[in-house]
Amino acid sequence: MASSREAGVAYPRLPLTEGSDDLVAFQQWLGEAIPMVGALGIMQMDRQGDTLTWQLSLKPSLNDKGTGFGGALTAQATLLGWCWVTLWLRAQGRAQDVVVAESSHRFHAPVTADYRMVCSPHDSQGPVMLADKLQQRGRGRITLDQKLYCGNTLCLEATGSYVVLPEA
């Protein structure tokens, strides 16, 4: 699908829904809002409690060695965290912008087959602390961990700090 997106023009937000978000609709919107998402190989999203999991195909992220390209994998980890915060905000009935403030990545093993990425708060109290900051100041920050598994092998660990901006 060719993107009609233009630099400097924000994409319309996905309208808030009552109750639980439809992850299929969210993934479709995500692919329209961020054109590179279509090339990331996301096959499925699942949300259980404070954990967001993606199942991904390796094929779109292959490097010259036939394993996962580090740049693609780190982009996926960063985006997974952004999605975690965006979906969490939506569950709170909030439509605020999210940006990544900083991130770090550590590779442990090559990615040699389709894989899964798991994202959860670095601190189990992170969501509560974020909710408090949003209530008090209208903005806040949360640190999330992303882990990439190829089978049972941990291949990548990432940590990202995500900022929720004040409502416009």
* Domains parsed from the chain with CATH numbers: 40-164 (3.10.129.10)
Alpha helix ranges (H) inside 5-91 = 23-33, 70-91
pLDDT tens string for the chain (168 positions)? 445 678 889 899 888 887 667 898 999 999 999 999 999 999 999 999 999 999 999 999 999 999 999 999 999 999 999 999 999 999 999 999 999 999 999 999 999 999 999 999 999 999 999 999 999 999 999 999 999 999 999 999 999 999 999 987
- The b/e string for 50-67 (b: 16+ C-beta within 10 A; e otherwise) is eebbbebebeebeeeeeb
C-alpha torsion angle, residues 130, 135, 138, 144 (rounded to 10): 10
- The alpha carbon dihedral of 103, 148, 88, 32 has a sign of positive
pLDDT of 2 reads 47
Residue 36, amino acid: M
